[in-house]
Amino acid sequence: MNNNSNDHQFEFYGEGLPDVDLSELIGRLIVIEGTDGVGRSTQVSMLKPWLESNGHAVLDTGMTRSELAGSGIKKAKEGHTLGPVALALYYATDFADRLENQMIPALRAGFIVLTDRYIYSLIARAIVRGADPDWIKSVYGLALKPDAIFYLRASVYDLIPRVLRQPSGFDYWESGMDQHLGDDRFDSFVEYQTRITGVFDSMIDQYGFEVLDASHSIDWIYKELQHRVGRMLREH
Amino acid sequence: MQIYGEHNFPGKLFIVEGIDGSGKSTQLSLLQQWLKREGYMVFFSEWNSSPLVKETTSRGKKKQMLTPATFSLIHATDLADRIERHIIPPLKAGAIVLADRYIYTAFARDTVRGVDAGWVRHLYRFAVKPTMAFYFRVPLEISLKRILGGRAGLKYYEAGMDLDLDDDIEQSFRLFQSRIKERYEGMVDEFGLTVIDATRPIEEQQDEVRALVERQLRDVPKLPIRIEDLEED
């Protein structure tokens, strides 16, 4: 990754953030997206040491890890009491805090920021819960356009064995139980994840996702990601 | 999700806006007393009062970790929770909902902090459009006298200290309030705010407010709306 030339310049999706000079951001922003249980965090945990062993400094981040709003969201979710618009905006607050206090400083310092989910999961969740798509997308006009968005795509039936490997089984939120979509967590999980996947699929072209078939083995996906990330870093 | 202006509820929403020290809270509380006495169902919603969000907001403020963007978003989260929980349901039931500060406070403060004016207006599209929005207009010197005379101390964000306007907190507050006032003045026509001259005696202002509110209450019931009535529409 050489940043001697001006061939790489970040952009915001919309209005962006006040007081950020985009020309100062010299790192790279890589997003791993996909539904619950698709193996995103496994891939992030493998990519990070690989990139570091190649000499790149890496910041990994993920949702609800902000200092500001992370604990508040977790508490609100425990009670299952936030309305859909408020929940969507709480996530946006968490995202903005991480963007400004983690991602942008790291990009300024020349890090590769590797993020487990980005705005697309948040947009999908909000839309499935009835938010106006134009509204929630414009809220994320404050986000940076990533250098690459890898969308790990799996059918809901590929996800089920993975979910059942966790001791907790079908999680309340991963099953969209707040949406009253089915009689039990299994029915609800299938319906909710199918809807989320539908929204993700509808965003592929708009946001330029690179789609990876996540029904393949972890190792296959990892090799594919290494290949694509390596190429991306050489190109810029 | 319904967006600004699309809602159509049997209840009414009256909100008050104005810079600190304009007397808007006093007026709203007098209005509330009167409406209750008249036999209406009245529900009062306070700015910054959502229990689920409050903790995050006050931690962010105490530790001074809010940026213009997160300041804007956490307040939007708070209002969204209040609208979903405390404003829409009473409006559906046919109540009169009163709110001390509303989206216009956010538009004024956030844009003074450098947030994009179009973005923040879009952010609040989930909000219910008020039946009437009162703006209590007062010259800065009067409001400052009321505030700075009586209070123990100004808080960091309240005084706009995050904007680096001045090292002196009172001077910063003055500059911040004058910018907020400019934003309010700009929104009078944009949003059709009803301007009340807040330099007049409290009683006179209240008479005017009551007269304006009364005109909006012709169809407002004094008992809860029954679900069967709603479904006939």
For chains A and B, CB pairs below 8 A equal: 105
The answer on pLDDT for B57 being more than 70 is yes
Q: Tell me the torsion sign for CA atoms A199, A69, B109, B92.
A: positive
pLDDT confidence of residue A4? 45
Determine contact, residues B14/B128, Cβ cutoff 8 Å. Answer: no
Domain that holds residue B79: 12-211
- Reported as a pLDDT band with limits 50, 70 and 90, residue B191 is very high
* Percent of chain B's residues with pLDDT above 90: 67
Label residues B150-177 b or e (16+ Cβ within 10 Å = b): eeeebeebbbbbbbebbeebeebbbbbb
- A33 min Cα distance to partner chain B (Å): 23
B5 lies in a domain? no
The better pLDDT of the pair A32, B155 is held by A32
Question: CATH for A25-235, among 3.40.50.300, 3.30.70.60, 3.40.710.10, 3.40.50.170?
Answer: 3.40.50.300
Residue A49, pLDDT > 80, answer yes
A92 touches chain B (CB under 8 A): yes
Q: For residue B41, give the CATH number of its domain.
A: 3.40.50.300
Give the chain A residue nearest B51 (alpha carbons).
Answer: A76
Q: Which of residues 12-71 of A touch B (CB under 8 A)?
A: 14-19, 67-69, 71
With bands split at pLDDT 50, 70 and 90, how would you rate the model's confidence at B110?
very high
Give the CB-side neighbour count of residue B192, counting CA atoms within 13 A. 5
Reply yes or no on whether the pLDDT at B233 is more than 70. no
User: Which residue is closest to B125 within chain A, CA to CA?
Assistant: A135
Say whether B101 sits in a helix, a strand or coil. coil
Among A2-6, A172-176, A227-231, the range with the most confident prediction by mean pLDDT is A227-231
Q: Which helix (H) or strand (E) holds B134?
A: strand B132-137
Q: A76-89, pLDDT tens digit by residue?
A: 777 667 889 999 99
What is the C-alpha separation between A106 and A100, in angstroms, rounded? 10
**In terms of CA atoms, which chain A residue is nearest residue B55?**
A72
Number of domains chain B is built from: 1
Q: Do B77 and A90 touch (CB under 8 A)?
A: yes
Decide if pLDDT at A3 tops 60.
Answer: no
Interface of A with B in 151-210 (CB under 8 A): none
Phi, then psi, of A7 in degrees rounded to 5: -80, -10
Domain residue limits, chain A: 25-235
- Out of A60-74, A152-166, B23-37, B195-209, pick the least confident: A60-74
* Higher-pLDDT residue of B221, B122: B122
Q: What pLDDT sits at residue A173?
A: 82
Using alpha carbons, list the distances in angstroms from residue A189 to A170, A193, B12, B52.
Answer: 7, 6, 39, 26
Q: Look up the pTM and report it.
A: 0.88
Residue A156 C-alpha from the chain's centroid: 18
Cα dihedral B212→B217→B223→B227 (10° resolution): -130
Mean predicted confidence (pLDDT) in B36-54? 83
**Looking at beta carbons, which residues of chain B come within 8 Å of A81?**
52
Q: Indicate the average pLDDT of chain B.
A: 90
The token duo for B7 is 């809602």
- pLDDT band at residue A128 using 50, 70 and 90 as cut-offs: very high
Q: Is the pLDDT of residue B231 over 70?
A: no
The encoded tokens of residue B231 equal 């479904």
H helices of A133-184, in order, are: 133-139, 156-165
